[in-house]
Amino acid sequence: MRLMKKYLMLISAVALAGMLSGCASDYVMATKDGRMILTQGKPELDKTTGLIRYTDERGNEMQINGNDVSQMIER
């Protein structure tokens, strides 16, 4: 009985870790002036303002004009 509980806990922990790692893709945004911006999670475009909202490496919420971004790559 104890072995089965430990086995079930191990499987649950591995499954949870797999789900969490699959959800958090980071991105690199290249700007037209040559900067590379590393983000946590996928940046989102606000269609009404044209701004791209993202979270930087330090966890700060930031925005950049969508016209300034030349490329966005998942890393």
Domain ranges of the chain: 25-75
The structural architecture, per CATH, of the domain 25-75 is: Roll (2.30)
Tens digit of each residue's pLDDT (9 = 90 or more) over 7-64: 666 666 555 555 545 556 899 999 999 999 999 999 999 999 999 999 999 999 999 9
In contact, 63 and 51? CB cutoff 8 Å: yes
Query: Which pLDDT does position 23 carry in this prediction?
Result: 54
**CA distance linking residue 53 with residue 25, whole number of Å:** 15
